Every structure is written in C-alpha cells, then in structure tokens.
Amino acid sequence: MVSLMIDGKNTSVEAGTTILEAALAIGIKIPTLCWLQKVSPTGACRICAVEVEGVDRPMTACNTPVKEGIVVTTQSEKLTAIRKKIMELMLVNHPLDCPICDAGGECDLQDNCYGLEVAKPGYSAVLERRPIRYDWKLLESDPNRCILCEKCVKVDHEIVGCDAIAVVDRGEATIIDTVDGKPLNCDFCGNCIAVCPTGTLISKPFKFKGRPWTFDVTKSVCPFCSTGCQIEYHSKDGRVERVTSEDSTFNEGNLCINGRFGYAYLNSPERLKTPMVDKKPVSWDTALSTVAERLKSFPASAVAGIASPRLTNEENFLFAKLIKTTIGSPNLDSEAGLGFSSAINILKNQIGIDGASATIDRIDKADAVLVIGSDLKAESTGIEYRVIKAATKNDAKLIVANMRTVKLRKYANSYLIYKPGSESSLVMAIAKALVDAGCKPAGNGADSFLASLSALSMTELASSCGVDEKSIRAAAALLAGSKNPAVIFGADIIRSNSSAEAVSAVANLALLLGAVGKEAGGIFPIDEKNNSLGMIEMGAVPGDGGLDINGMIDAIENGQIKALYIAGANPLASFPDNRRVKLALETLDLLIVQDILANELTAMAHIVLPGSAAAEKNGSFTTPDGRVQELQNAVNPPEGAKEDFAIISSIIACCSGDAKHQTLEAVSDEIALANPLYGSSVNRTTSAAAFEPIIIPAGTASPELTLLVGASLFHNGTSTLYSENNVSVAAEECIEFSAADAARIGVSDGAGVVVKSDSGSIGSKVKVSDNLQPGLLFASYHSIKLNAASLLAGKANTVAVTVTKA
Amino acid sequence: MAQVVFSSWGRNIIDNRKGGEAQEATFRLPVAHDGVTPMAGFMGWDGLILFDAAVDVPQMAAEYMKRVQTLYCCGKCTPGKKGTKVLSDLLAAVLEGKAKESDLDTVPDLAELLKNCKCTLCQSSTIPVFDAVEHFRDDFVSRINGVKSDKKEHRLIHKYTAPCQDKCPAHIDIPAYIEAIKEYRFDESLEVIRDNMPLPSVCGRVCPHPCETACRRKNVDEPISIMVLKRSASDYEWQHNLTPPMQPKPRKSQKIAVVGAGPAGLAAAYYLALEGYPVTIYEALPEGYGGGMIAVGIPAYRMPRHILQRDIDIIASMGVEIIYDTRIGKDISLAELKEKFTAVLLAPGAHRSKPMGVEGEDAGYKGFLKGGIDFLREAYMGKPTGMGNKVVVVGGGNTAIDCVRVALREGAELSCLVYRRSRKEMPADVWEVDGADEEGVHFEFQVLPTRVIADESGQITGVECVRMALGEPDASGRRRPEPMAGSEFVIECDTVIPAIGQDPDLSFIPADCGIDITKWNTIVTQYVPLKGADGRNLKDGMGNELARTLITDLDGVFASGDAEIGPLTVVACVGNAHRAARVIQRWIEEGKAYITDDELMEDILTNLPVYDKNEQVPWLDSANRAHQVEVHGKERASQGNYQEVELGFTNQQAVKEAERCLRCYRMAMAAVSQ
C-alpha cells in the first residue's frame, strides 16, 4: 500500500493506483474528459492536471501512479487557470451547434465548460471544417465536434477488438476516421457512440428522435444472446428509440449490434396485433376460450408444446405447467432440445454443475482460455469481449479451436483448425498432450480416464482431426500449468454430429485442467439465445416419456401428435430439415402459435396469439452462467397484443376452469419451490465431479463437402430480421466457400449455386472466404430466404452436401 | 571561427547584434550543412541560433511552427493540437500584416500553457518561437505594421527526432513504437520498428541499447526499457502466429549482390527487396547458420536460434535469395559479382581474431585456441572446439564474456576470464558480466597474461600473468595500467582463448580493384566533408567521417557493416546498411550516390547531440523501470543448456513500462543559404 495526501486528506491505496483513482476513492472529484476507466489511460484532454509537491509541473491525475508520501493538490487558482485555458483551447473551432447537436444535454464538453465557467473564447485560429460522414451506416460522425479523447478508438480496439476506427492525420486536421477513409465497416456495436463525450459519433436511428432528457429510461436485460447484458431502454410515446448501458453494469456498458440496435424489431410493422382463429381476427376472449376448448378436445398424449428461450422464466414456467400439468402431456421441448439441454445434462452429471461452473466475469481473470467450437463473436458477443480482456489485459494464453477462422484468431496464441466432426478426437488429443506435458488428472474416474487416454494413439487422434501433433502439443503446453483456466464451448460442440461425446470430452478436459471451482476461469457452455438455461430450469423440457423436439416432428408425421402449441419460436426458420417440419405441421389438426412477428408459421397457424417482446414485459431471464436477472417493461405491447404471461395464465385458467389469474409474484414463489436454484439464497455450487469414459465416435468417411450452419454477428435468432437497423448492415446471406472449393467447382464471388443435401436443396450466391478450410462451406441460419437450416438433418449443425452451378 | 550573431541555445543568451566585444559560443554544428552551403540559422527545442544576421527570423519562426503543427503534431492532446494551431495561424497573420501587436502576447501565454502537453513536441516547439518573439520583437512588430522584410530568404530544412531515436544508430522511431505498445497495438509497434530495424527479435534481445543512455526518463528516474519493449513487439507477432504485413513493391530488374548474411547484409537486402530489387546474399557459412556475427558470435542462451531464423526467414520471404556455403574470393570472385549484378554491397563483417601479443601464442601449443569468435562459432556449429577442462579467456569485451559463459555450457570445470583493467572498465555490457558472475565464471581483473606455459608434449598447462596497477596519468589524463613488479603468478589451465577483438578479413578484395582499405582494415567509403567551427572534419564515435555515402571508390560497389564502420554492434550495422540500401537505390535510379538533406540533418543532430543529460525534467518518479524475468542459478549454464536466460516482459508489464515513456519528440530546423 502507498500512503499519500490529497487536498489535505491522508489516504492509502494499492501501488499502481493512479492519483485520479486514489482521489475518487476518498470522494475528491477531479475534472476529466478523456478518462474512461475500462480502457487504458489516454491523457489527451489534460484537464485532470493536479499539482504534486516538489514536481515543477502539473501532472495529469488520470495516468500518473501514486508515490509514497506525495502531497497532491487538486484545486488551486493556478490549476483552475490552466484548466480554463485548456478548455478555451478545446473550444477553438468547435462548432456552436449545441441546439441541434444530438449530444445536447448529455455532453461532457458542455458539462465541463459549465463546471469550469468557461464563458469566453480565449483563443482563435483560422476556421477549418471537415466533412461530416453521412455515408456511414447506423453511425454518423461529425469530426468538427471531436475533442480527440480517443475513447471511441480505445473501446473499438481494446474491448471490441474491431479496429475499424483510428486517429488519423496530424495537427488541427487530426480526426477519428475509418482506417482506410472508406465508409465505416465494423461490428456496428455502437460502443463508440456510447463513450463519445460529445456529438461526434451519434446513432443515426436515434438522431432527432428527441432530446435525451425527454425519454423514460427503464433498466432491463438484453433479450438476445447468452451474455445477458444489463441495458436501459429509452422510450417515448410508447416506442423504444434507443438502448444504452451504463459502465457500472456487469457488462461494463459494452453491448453488441443486437443489444444496441436490435430494438428496432419492436417497432416493426410486422408486429402481430390481433388474435386470429382460423385466419379470422377475433377478440381475445374468443381466442383464449377457443384455445382452451380445442386443446382439451385432444387426448393429452396427442398434444405437444414448444417453448422458447425468448420467453421469461415465469412464462416458461407457466407454459410448462400448461402443457405438463393442465393438459397433462409430457411432450414439451424447445430448440434447446437440439443440443443445449443435453449439454447442460452432461455437465450436471459429469461435473455436478448447473450451467456454467462460474459467472462469465471469471473469464476476465483466467490465465489460460480455451475456446472450442464457438464463433463467440457471433454466438455471444459479450463473452468474446471477456475473452479479449483476459487475453490482452490479463496475459491469458488463448487457444482457439474451430473449423473456421473466426475473429478471435488474432488474439490466439494457438489456433487449431479441425476437421468437421472430429471434435472429440481433438479434445482428447489435447487431453493426451496435457497428460504428456505433466498434467495429472485427479478425482473420481481419473485412473480409468488416464488408462483409456493412454490407450489412444496421438498420431491417430491428430490425423483424424486434421491438426498436426506439434500444434496440438504447443496448444497443450500453453494450457499446462494454468492456475485458472477457462474452457468455453459453443454451437459446434453442442450441435456437432456426436454432441454427447463431444460435450463429455470437453467436460473431461475441463476436469483434467482443473478448471472448475478455481478463483477464476471455469467451464462455460455458450448458447446463442438469452434464456435457454432459464427455460430448461423452468421445466420446459420433455417430461417422463415425453417427446423431444425431433420426436415431436416424427410423431406429428405418424399422426400421434395432432395438436401443437408453439410459444415464441419458429421451427420453420432455423430448425434442421424445416421443409419437412413444415409439411408435418400442415397435417396438424391444431396449430397454436403465440408470437410477436408475422411469419410463415403464423400464416399457417389455426390460432395466432400476438404476444409481447422483452421490452414490453416484466419477469426474469437466466443466463447460462446462472445469473437470474429481472427485466422491466419499458413500453406496453402494441395495441391488441398481450403479455405472454397473461396469455398463458388465461389459457390455464380457461382450461382448468379456475378463473383465478396468476400474478408474477405468485409464480415466482412457485418457481422457488419447484427449483431450489431460484430460492431465496441461491448458490450455484458444484457437487461431485467424475471423469466419464472416453468415447471417440467411430469415424465415418468424411464427405467431400460439409455445410456448417451457424450464427452471424449481425443477427440474433430471427427477431432481428425485423430490425431495420440490423438489416441495414447485415450483408446479403449467401453460402461461403473456400477459394479452393470455389475454384474446383468453377465459381467465383457472386455466382449462383445449388446446394443439395439429403434433406433438400437451396439456391444461393457464392461468397469466397479466407476463413474456411477446403471441404467446408458455411452459411448463417438467420435468413429465412436462404434457409440454410433446411439442408440440415437431425440435430446437427453440419451436413454433407453437393454443389452444382446454378 | 564563424561568429554567432545570436543564440538562446541551452537558455544561454548570446547577442552579438549590437556590436561591442563579441561573446563567443560554439556548437557542435557544421559550418555548412552539406559541406558547401553555409548554415545561417538553427532552431530547435533548446532555442534559436543565428550565424547570419540576414536570416528572416519571423518567417523562420512561422515556418517552424507551421511544420510542427501540420506535419508532426499528433493531435492527441488539447494544448498541443490547438495551441500550435493558434500559434501557427498567429505567426502567419504576423507575416501577412494581419495581426495586432497585442496578439504577440499569446506567444508567452501559450509557451507557458503548453508545458501541460502530453509530450514534448509542441511544448518544446514554443521555446525557439518564444525566444524569437522575445529577442526579435522589433522584426515581428514591423511585419505586423506591414513593413516588408529586408532579410534574405533561406532554405529551411527540418528534422523530426527524439533523443532516443537520435541515439539509436538505426534511428528507430522509438517513441512511436512505445506508444503503440502503450495502446495495446503490438502489431503496429512492430511495423514501426521494422521501418528501421528488420531484425527486431535480435535487437529486442541483445542490443547494447545506446538509446537507453539517451532516454530523458533517466533524468527523472531510470530509462525506459526500450530494448525489451522491442522484444515484446517482436515476440507478440511470433507468439500469435501472425503473418508479417510487409508487401514488397513490384519486382524491378536491377539485381543486387550482397556479401555476407550478417546484420548489415540482411538489413540492406531487406530494404532493397521491399523496394522491389532482387537481392542475392552470398554467405560463407552453410545453411542454417545465417546471421553473421549474431549467429556465430552471440550464444543461443542470449539469442535463441529459431527466433533468429524466423527473422531471417521473414527477410528472405520479401524476395531475398541467400546462397549459403559460398565464400567470396574463394568460390566466386568479386569481379564476377560485379559482372553479374548491377550493384554489389560488401558486408563481410569482422570475423578475424586479433593476436594477443603474448609469449608462446604462436608456438602452436595444444589448447591454445585461435580466437574467441572462432571458439563461439565452432561451439555453435557443434564442431570440436579443442577446449579442455580448465579454460582461460583473455579479454574484456562481450565476446570474451560469451566465451567464458559458453565454456561453462560446453562443460568446462574452470572458466576464467582474465582482463587487464578493472571490472567497471570492461567494455562488455554490465549485465553480461553480471550474468557470467552468476553462472560461476572466475574473474581475474587487473591481470595481464605474459606467457603461455606448456609441457614437453606442447599441451598448455597454464598461463603466466602479472598483476596490474594504475600508473601516472598519461597525456590524455587517463591512468594506464602498469605491471607490478614481482606480482607474477600462474593460472593453471589447459585451454587459453584470446578474445581481445576482431577485425575484418578483407583478403577477398583484390589490391588493384580500386577499393581502398584503412589502416584499421576497414573499407574506405566516400563522405560529405562536414567541418566544425574549428575547421576540423566531424567524425563519428569510431573515428569515421560523420556523413558517409557508403559507396567505395569502385563505382557500383558499396560497403557496410563492421567491415566499413569497424567492429561495432548489430544495431550500428543495421543503421549503416539501411542507409547503404537507400544510397544504392539512388545510385541505380538517379545515377548518383548521395545522401539527402534529411540524412545529413540526422547525422548533424547525432553530432549535436539531441539528448542533454543535464536537463531538468520535472516529472513525478512514481513508476519504476520494469525488469524482465530471468532464469537464475548455476543450472542455467549447465553443460549443454543453451535455453534462453532472459524471458522478456509479459504484455501487461510491457504496457506499464511503455506508459513511463515521456515521448520526447522535437523538431530541429536549419536555415541554409539558397
């Protein structure tokens, strides 16, 4: 600890603390403009100048570490004069367009000028004006308003890892611009807008939507990916017009394109507003009683339900209650049935954990991170930010294993590109190399694990995953000796061809590394949707003897299931082999769809119930790392639509004849009783862990071409397809080919192809990509038009395909 | 001696404008910047110097501030960005007669305020401008009043530099690469480094880092660890498997031959290849042993071979062909090279050990090795070195230290270093001497070997030495060590390695080919005759002419590296070779081998110099210099253990260390007659 005196107050802080932080800790506020706690200090604005006794110049408090015994003065006539003059210089050539500036009312420059009583133009220079960048998408940049605090550049570089903008040029001409001067081409997370202290970088969709102080601000939780960011909805006249996040939140104010701009789906003209029965608009009473009446007309075993990770815990709980108890059918599942549910079960059985073994902030402080089978940026952007933080700010060794080259590549100390379907082999190869490097498994099943591991041939494992042994050993060497490793795995493991074996292998690896129960790190399953774990924990999973998602489709086809109630999901958009699903659904006697946006599914439903979006309701979501976070309604559902909670609760009431409507509080109490993880003092602790026997799935002849269907950064699920903001920057969906495959097939960028699998065929344009190994194609699943998921089969996210020129 | 008209340099005012007895002042500046054109005025971070009263001071000040603002001000702090803009516009308005006299008050006001700048560029730029307004106010006022200047126009040549950058023989933009690390941009840092240093992993590890002796942070507490930060940038690329971003320009037709794949040869080849020239390097050693003195002279525990090889491979990937196992003068003649290539660069290095001058050294005793550098090379190449169990190494330089440390790793029981002066006088780097000490090397200081002793079979059994004491100061004032009578003693040993220096082996240059060789056995190259005020030629630290074009007297043949400079350092060879590459390009493209105004200014500033160890630098000394992790203990020097001893910074350490940098940029500007 270092002792010092600031403005006559004695204080003691940790070595390395800056004078600014030391002052803040004892309630002394030093003016700042360029300082941003979450990035490296910049020292650009110079207004945090303070005097240190014995030092013959003012020192900037934001980037000067404390020293034992120093005496600091933060307020003096001399300092005030310096700060005022610096502010006067800052105002040289600054446009006085405050009346129409978007930052008016929330501008740090205004606040500081006001605070320091800078009332006159102290200096003058020849006026220079730089063009305003109207040609950027989603953002607008007016460099004339820029004070060069570099916060945007630093957030872009240090947190997001995008490097789209930079400080360019010299002297007065210095501005923040794109690196190449072309229109902005980035992740469009808008975190730069959030940190801009002036009206330089502004949100185009928000521009002129109103003065900031005229909006209602509602704290809530982001409804998109599994990061579970804490957000604020800014709403006026019943419309959400922007989403922000404070730096004091769990996610440190960092969002992604979906979190910041995805809200526009709320205002989509495609929002459902009228209940429909047999394609005719009806009143809510009619709709609800018809649902109850028709549902009851089937034997319970002929009814099935599909729940949604978009719905709140309370809604999922009620929906599970409706299907399983009120109707009495065990046939309940969701898209989590394609892999995430089973992954959660495996982690529970093998490691004794519910979801991730720790909260995701523990990734920040990990000293080694393995990200396997996940394009984190696309699947859960906020978790990628944490991995970047660990790698750059905590010197964590980063090992990334993926079929493709993903954005994390540039941070990786080891990057392993494995063959599709070889996940288990790769994981066991790493485990074997770890043991060879001296890593000793401990705990239940360790001996037999070790024995079966030693029976495996490294050469064979390496050759089956297509990674050379040297690289595998180098990766293991980086992991070996880690005190706090983090193991993160996503869709390519969870939905691999042999996902159970792959997830179990990853769990074994995490046990071998000792990743569970450490100060930092852990094992983290990733899902692209926000409330998958909550939904599972609410019981929205198959009951005893119940059908899972794939089983339901089979059962519909063979006539066993006649009525299906889908709440907040669209199996026609992203489910494997969804053309077959559509044909199956067409045979149903009753299809009830409760959703918020009109789509192919609502068009074919017998009954449509217009529900509500996350911004329009209360309740809670549970992230895969077990954080149960409450959301609050910022706006009401559109006129005619209803909160999902109310819809489901009314249907239960209608079905059971019990007119008593449920309250959120009552349901919360019920949940706490049903699941101790939701009790009063929740502690997700781990129970006994054990290595599971190694199962390496028998290799099948690898197809010439494999199509991988996965997530894209610019969308989350299908709701953002209705957000004009996302749509404006997302490229046209097409199928990506490696240059080698494109050349072999004889196609180039933009050419038309027909891609065919056993499930069907689709037409697409070609995009030649450096990110793919030969033999692997990639398409994102979001586009309903492309519908790449229709080529998939079963649960897997890969499928063998053939390609012909269109 | 040229009289100074006015000077405020170093805050010491000399004003000879009003007549009377002239005050004298001398500066380490040439009287003519290019050997011909007189230097009339000089402006920079430490003031203003006028050698010629005809210099238009307001115009020079205005131009100085304009260049600072528009060419170099980084815009990354408010006072700097806006303050120099205000000053630049103000001085322009003065020249145009559009300012008011009271506007001149802004100059002292901003000179004071700009002390709050983030770095020193804009801050220091106010100093000569302030001095100009202070001491030449009448000239400014008459311009404000619309009076036309009666002064002569001068050509203004500027140079942007920093003390560390100036001191670095390769002139790496050190503040820029450190700033990039501070901003977590290790890749950009390496790009900046490579602009002047194509062997970053080498000079990030084994550079004697003269830059750190000129680091202004030293005036506050301790210098920035500039060298290890370079290693951090270089290791980052390697540790993240990143592809170096350089793209050579389209291939040109003129082929260039380089003799020697050492630091000079590799560096020149790299820069020429980037310009599109096909370069062929001829290397005497076999493949796998490229790198010249870096490979054969620096042991692997200081410079891991795979990392050196990575740097060489990157250079080769730019379009450089390296033909190994080919010695010029033996396998191919210089005349043949000249015939086959448009230009030839000689960079053979200095690999010939110097004799010790001790009785018995030429008796052919078993155990008397040829020289330190030969021993290191053979040990490195895995050949028999002839070393026994008890080794005495004679010398005090880095090669001697490398020899004693390698002897331990080769299994010597005794590894003893004999040096005739004291430990602190050793030319070897202090940390190398400390490293040897830690590993168990035995030192005999102030000891002179006088005789090599051998038994009847001719096997060395010891070396007779005499202790030395400091005698009376000689003409230079330095006390010379002198033998103490009766202090003779014998160190028992079976191996003696003389390591007292190397010089180039230039036997491959035919005597009659037109290339001159100095008495120190280095290659003579042409130069710009820069003279100081005393009429003497300005020389570099090795006694060479300060500003050399590096072309030999044989047209089309250039020389670089140790064979041109004299045995020095990797970084000196790289800097020298980079200049040679530029001159070769000019010679090919323009038919003239010359150095530019910018390069002349570079040499002139180095001679000035830029760093001032007496400068008071007000700063809070609250961040200590970072130290890299090092493997300790004798085991690190156990037999066969060539594992790297120093392990570099973690990235966090590197960023913290980079944050200590004061970014001491500054701009000098010379006014020369047109």
CATH topology (fold) of A706-805:
Barwin-like endoglucanases (2.40.40)
Domain range summary for chain A, segments of one domain joined by + = 2-90, 124-267, 280-333+540-611+643-678, 340-525, 706-805
Percentage of the residues of chain A whose pLDDT score is greater than 90: 93
Cβ–Cβ contact A12 with B under 8 A: no
Asked if residue B619 belongs to a domain, the reply is: no
Cβ–Cβ contact B83 with A under 8 A: yes
Q: Are residues B152 and B12 in the same domain?
A: yes
The percent of chain A in helix, strand and coil, each rounded to the nearest 5, is 35, 20, 45
Longest dimension (CA), chain A: 88
Characterize the bridge pairing of strands A71-73 and A2-6.
parallel
Decide if A392 and B651 are in contact by the 8 Å CB cutoff: yes
Which CATH class for the A124-267 domain? alpha beta
Residue partners of A761: CB distance under 8 A and separation at least 6: A754, A755, A791
Strands (E), A490-528: 522-525
Pick the CATH number of A280-333+540-611+643-678 from 3.30.930.20, 3.50.50.60, 3.40.50.740, 3.40.190.10: 3.40.50.740
Cβ–Cβ contact B624 with A under 8 A: no
Q: What is the mean pLDDT of chain A?
A: 95
CATH topology (fold) of A340-525:
Dimethylsulfoxide Reductase; domain 2 (3.40.228)
Q: Domain total for chain B?
A: 4
Distance CA A441, CA A516 (A): 13
Task: For residue A404, give the nearest of A434, A433, A376 by alpha carbon.
Answer: A376
Q: Which of A41, A158, A167 sits opposite B75 (nearest CB)?
A: A167
Decide if B117 and A46 are in contact by the 8 Å CB cutoff: yes
CATH of the domain at B130: 1.20.1440.230
Q: What is the pLDDT of residue A682?
A: 62
Chain A CB contacts of B88 below 8 Å: 125
Decide if B241 and A414 are in contact by the 8 Å CB cutoff: yes
Q: Are residues B296 and B263 in the same domain?
A: yes
Range of the domain at B464: 356-502
B290-305 in b/e form (b: 16+ CB < 10 A) is bbbbbbbbbbbbbbeb
Q: What is the pLDDT of residue A770?
A: 96
User: CB count, 10 Å around CB of A763?
Assistant: 11
CATH of the domain at B198: 1.10.1060.10
Q: Which of A42, A124, A395 sits opposite B652 (nearest CB)?
A: A395
Half-sphere exposure of A672 (CA within 13 A, CB side): 11
Determine the average pLDDT of the residues in A455-480.
96
Taken in order A554, A557, A560, A565, is the CA torsion positive or negative?
positive
Chain A CB contacts of B72 below 8 Å: 170-171
Taken in order A792, A794, A795, A798, is the CA torsion positive or negative?
negative
Q: Which of A55, A171, A413 sits opposite B73 (nearest CB)?
A: A171
CATH of the domain at B467: 3.50.50.60
**pLDDT over 70 (residue A681):** no
Q: Which residue of B has its CA nearest to A85?
A: B113
CB contact residues (below 8 A), chain B span 403-462, against chain A: none
Asked if residue B610 belongs to a domain, the reply is: no
Asked if residue B600 belongs to a domain, the reply is: no
Q: How far is B58 from chain A (nearest CA, A)?
A: 18
Decide if A170 and B72 are in contact by the 8 Å CB cutoff: yes
Q: What is the pLDDT of residue B641?
A: 93
Q: Are residues B199 and B297 in the same domain?
A: no
Q: Which of A65, A82, A125 sits opposite B622 (nearest CB)?
A: A65
What is the distance, to the nearest Å, from the Cα of residue B179 to the centroid of all Cα atoms in its chain? 21
User: CB count, 10 Å around CB of A692?
Assistant: 22
Q: Are residues B372 and B466 in the same domain?
A: yes
Domain end call among B451, B483, B502: B502
Q: By the 8 A CB rule, do A137 and A728 touch? A: yes
Chain B CB contacts of A411 below 8 Å: 240
Asked if residue B457 belongs to a domain, the reply is: yes
pTM for this prediction = 0.96
| DSSP one-letter string for B63-127 | HHHHHIIIII----SHHHHHHHHHHHHHHHHHHTT-S-GGGGGHHHHHHHHGGG-SSSHHHHHHH
Q: Are residues B493 and B371 in the same domain?
A: yes
Q: Are residues B200 and B137 in the same domain?
A: no
Select from B98, B103, B622 the residue whose CB has the most chain A CBs within 10 Å, as the one to mutate to test that interface.
Answer: B622
Asked if residue B494 belongs to a domain, the reply is: yes
User: CB count, 10 Å around CB of A118?
Assistant: 19
Decide if B75 and A169 are in contact by the 8 Å CB cutoff: yes
Cβ–Cβ contact B625 with A under 8 A: no
Q: Are residues B107 and B223 in the same domain?
A: no
CB contact residues (below 8 A), chain A span 138-197, against chain B: 147-148, 150, 154, 157-158, 167, 169-174
Q: What is the dihedral of CA A717, A719, A722, A723, to 10 degrees?
A: -80
Chain B CB contacts of A70 below 8 Å: 620, 622
Q: What is the pLDDT of residue A686?
A: 67
Chain B CB contacts of A44 below 8 Å: 76-78, 118
Q: What is the pLDDT of residue A579?
A: 96
**pLDDT over 90 (residue A796):** yes
Domain end call among B436, B470, B502: B502
A439-471 in b/e form (b: 16+ CB < 10 A) is bebeeebbeebbebbeebeeeebbbbbbbeeeb
Q: Is A228 helix (H, G, I), strand (E, B) or coil?
A: coil
Domains A124-267 and A280-333+540-611+643-678 fall in the same CATH topology: no
Characterize the bridge pairing of strands A2-6 and A280-281.
unpaired
Cβ–Cβ contact A65 with B under 8 A: yes
Half-sphere exposure of B200 (CA within 13 A, CB side): 29
Which CATH class for the A2-90 domain? alpha beta
In chain B, which residues have pLDDT < 50? 1
Torsions phi, psi for A304 (to 5 deg): -140, 155
Q: Six-digit token pair at A615? A: 């911004």
Q: Are residues B492 and B545 in the same domain?
A: no
Q: Which of B75, B76, B115 sits opposite A57 (nearest CB)?
A: B115
Q: Which of B116, B184, B240 sits opposite A158 (nearest CB)?
A: B184
Cβ–Cβ contact A126 with B under 8 A: yes
pLDDT band with cut points at 50, 70 and 90 for residue A654:
very high
Asked if residue B397 belongs to a domain, the reply is: yes
Cβ–Cβ contact B105 with A under 8 A: no
Q: How far is B205 from chain A (nearest CA, A)?
A: 21
pLDDT per position as a tens digit, A534-567: 999 999 999 999 999 999 999 999 999 999 999 9
Q: How far is CA A167 from CA A41, A551, B281, B541, in A?
A: 16, 56, 40, 39
Q: Are residues B572 and B639 in the same domain?
A: no
Chain B CB contacts of A147 below 8 Å: 78
